[in-house]
């Protein structure tokens, strides 16, 4: 059996504060924010992520969250975060999220590998029955990836996002444990 936190090219590690100033700089990129932030686009400082009472550190401490750093195996470069949030221990469902913020590592298959590891962690370690995600309807590259990973589009929330003076839809996608097992044994 392979180590649960290691893929072919990446590994999932504990989130450290050391990388957060770099992460904040990446996250201030307008184009990236459009793809990963459904809310209002705002510039970020490292304080947003380091503040012990802020949302990011709060998420890390939250029992319903399992967040990881994504690092390359070959040279241990930090390329982003991936994790499970909003774990519901009653329905055994949770949301998955990924943000490969490093501009040099987007669109090269690292996202899919990170997602597969995190999904396996969710189903095989957290004993989840359902993993879902939200994605903006215009993020077609991400939607194709999620479909390839086995997620099905379950709902389309109309006009729930607003950017650049235009309303956009948000897709809710989900995969069930039995569907995951059918493909991954």
Chain positions contacting other proteins, by CB under 8 A: 39-40, 88, 90-93, 129-130, 132, 152-162, 167, 172, 174, 176
In the complex, the smallest distance separating the C-beta of residue 17 from other proteins, rounded to whole angstroms, is 30
CA distance 46 to 26: 10
Beta-carbon contacts of 62 under 8 Å, excluding residues fewer than 6 positions away, are 85
In the complex, the smallest distance separating the C-beta of residue 124 from other proteins, rounded to whole angstroms, is 17
Contact between 94 and 84 (Cβ < 8 Å): yes
For residue 50, give both structure tokens.
């380091």
Report DSSP letters for 158-172, one per residue: EEEEEETTEEEEEEE
Contact between 171 and 161 (Cβ < 8 Å): no
| Residue placing its CB nearer to other proteins in the complex, 60 or 172 | 172
In the complex, the smallest distance separating the C-beta of residue 93 from other proteins, rounded to whole angstroms, is 6
In the complex, the smallest distance separating the C-beta of residue 41 from other proteins, rounded to whole angstroms, is 10
In the complex, the smallest distance separating the C-beta of residue 122 from other proteins, rounded to whole angstroms, is 14
| Residue placing its CB nearer to other proteins in the complex, 43 or 107 | 43
| Residue placing its CB nearer to other proteins in the complex, 108 or 156 | 156
| Residue placing its CB nearer to other proteins in the complex, 72 or 153 | 153
In the complex, the smallest distance separating the C-beta of residue 15 from other proteins, rounded to whole angstroms, is 26
E-strand stretches of the chain: 10-13, 66-72, 78-88, 93-99, 130-136, 152-163, 166-176
| Residue placing its CB nearer to other proteins in the complex, 7 or 174 | 174
| Residue placing its CB nearer to other proteins in the complex, 65 or 72 | 65
Contact between 34 and 163 (Cβ < 8 Å): yes
Cβ-count burial of 3 within 10 angstroms (0-12 exposed, 13-18 middle, 19+ buried)?
Answer: exposed
């Amino acid at each position: 059996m392979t180590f649960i936190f290691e893929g072919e090219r990446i590994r999932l590690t504990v989130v450290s504060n050391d990388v957060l100033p770099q992460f904040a700089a990446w996250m201030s990129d307008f184009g990236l924010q459009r793809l990963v932030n459904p809310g209002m686009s705002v510039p970020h400082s490292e304080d947003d992520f380091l503040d012990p009472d802020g949302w990011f550190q709060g998420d890390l401490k939250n029992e319903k969250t399992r967040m990881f750093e994504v690092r390359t195996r070959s040279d241990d470069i930090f390329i982003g975060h991936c994790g499970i949030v909003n774990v519901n221990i009653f329905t055994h469902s949770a949301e998955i999220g990924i943000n490969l913020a490093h501009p040099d590592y987007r669109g090269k298959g690292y996202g899919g590998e990170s997602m597969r590891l995190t999904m396996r962690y969710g189903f095989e370690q957290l004993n989840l029955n359902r993993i879902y995600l939200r994605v903006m309807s215009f993020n077609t590259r991400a939607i194709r990836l999620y479909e390839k990973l086995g997620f099905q589009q379950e709902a389309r929330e109309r006009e729930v996002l607003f950017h650049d003076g235009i309303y956009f839809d948000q897709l809710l996608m989900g995969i069930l444990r039995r569907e995951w097992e059918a493909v991954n044994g």
